[in-house]
Amino acid sequence: MTPYHRYVSDLVSGFERGRSFPMGGFAPLERKEPASDAPRVLIFSPHPDDEVIIGGAALRLMREGGYRVVNVAVTQGSNRDRQAERLEELKRACEYIGFELVQTAPNGLEKINPSGRERETQNWHHAVGVIAGILREHAPRVILFPHDRDWNSSHIGTHLLVVDALKSLGPEFSCFSLETEFWGAMWDPNLMVETSPEELGDLLAALSFHVGEVKRNPYHLLVPAWMQDNVRRGCEVALGQGGAAPDFRFATLYRLRRWQGGGFAPLLKKGRAVSSAEKLSDLLK
- pLDDT per position as a tens digit, 45-99: 999 999 999 999 999 999 999 999 999 999 999 999 999 999 999 999 999 999 9
How many Å apart are CA 200 and CA 173, to the nearest integer? Answer: 33
Tell how far CA 14 is from the center of its chain.
Answer: 25
pLDDT value of position 243? 79
Q: What is the pTM of this model?
A: 0.97
Residue 207 CA to residue 225 CA, distance in Å, equals 15
Among candidates 179, 27, 182, which has minimal Cα distance to 98? 27
Q: Count of alpha carbons within 13 Å of 122, Cβ hemisphere only?
A: 0
Give φ, ψ of 101 to 5 degrees.
-135, 135
pLDDT recorded at residue 263: 98
pLDDT by residue (tens digit) across 104-114?
999 999 999 99
Handedness of CA 37, 39, 45, 48 (dihedral sign): negative
Look up the CATH superfamily of 37-283.
LmbE-like (3.40.50.10320)
Q: For the chain, which residues make up each domain, given as ranges? A: 37-283
For the segment 118-161, what is each residue's pLDDT rounded down to a tens digit?
999 999 999 999 999 999 999 999 999 999 999 999 999 999 99
pLDDT given for residue 36 in this prediction = 87
Cα 275 to the chain's mean position, in Å? 18
pLDDT band at 245 (very low <50, low <70, confident <90, very high): confident
- The pLDDT > 90 percentage for the chain reads 96
Distance CA 51, CA 234 (A): 21
Q: What is the pLDDT of residue 280?
A: 97
Residue ranges in 48-196 assigned as alpha helix (H): 50-53, 56-65, 83-97, 114-119, 121-138, 153-168
